[in-house]
Structure 1
Amino acid sequence: MNKAAAEALAAEVLGWLAQDDERLMAFLGMTGADIGDLRTRSTDPDFLGFLVDFLLQDEAALIEFCDRTNRSYDAPQRARMMLPGGDLPNWT
């Protein structure tokens, strides 16, 4: 996966989150972002990384997203590796 594909996947995560008020509010609460940030930062690679991180922390959400978007279950993790901070080691 290249950077452009990773950013496109993250944008899909944003669209998916926007359809689920509960998850969207959880994301905003976790990041300190507000609704306006969703528009202004939707192309910011760091913010896109936060979106994918949020998805990756919840296995049920990850599966739902991948099933709904016809993505492989490892696609978000591969995308995260291409976004800022994604090259850091995972210690879990």
Structure 2
Amino acid sequence: MTPHSAEIFALEALAWMAQDEDVLSLFLNASGSSVADLKAQAQSSEFLLAVLDFILLEDQWVLDCAEACNCDPNMIGLARQALPGGAIVHWT
């Protein structure tokens, strides 16, 4: 997956999140963001990385997002890794 395709996928994931009031509310509270911030930051790779990180916190969100995006649940993690700064850190 290229960084560009990862950004497109992350925007789809953000659209899913925006349609789920419970998940959106939790994200806004956890990130300190507002709905206006979502619109303003939607083109930021760092913000999209945060969106994918948040979705990856809960297995059910991963499954729900994957279903809404019509993709394999692993795509969320792959997209995260493809975004700038999203590489998996190996501590050993």
Please give the TM-score of this superposition, normalised by the length of structure 1. 0.92
Q: Distance in 2 between matches of 1:50 and 1:89?
A: 16
Q: Which residue of 2 aligns with 1:77?
A: 77
Q: Distance in 2 between matches of 1:88 and 1:16?
A: 24
Gaps of 5+ in 1: none
One-letter amino acid matched to 1:46: E
- 1:29-72, Cα deviation, whole Å (9 max, x unpaired): 11111111011100000000000001111100101111121111
Q: Which residue of 1 aligns with 2:43?
A: 43
Q: Which residue of 2 aligns with 1:31?
A: 31
* Structure 1 ranges of 4+ moved more than 6 A: none
- 3-state DSSP class of the match of 2:24? helix
Matched residue count? 91
Q: Which residue of 2 aligns with 1:11?
A: 11
Q: Distance in 2 between matches of 1:43 and 1:19?
A: 18
CA RMSD of aligned residues (A): 1.3
Q: Sequence identity, in percent?
A: 32
Please give the TM-score of this superposition, normalised by the length of structure 2. 0.92
Q: Which residue of 2 aligns with 1:61?
A: 61
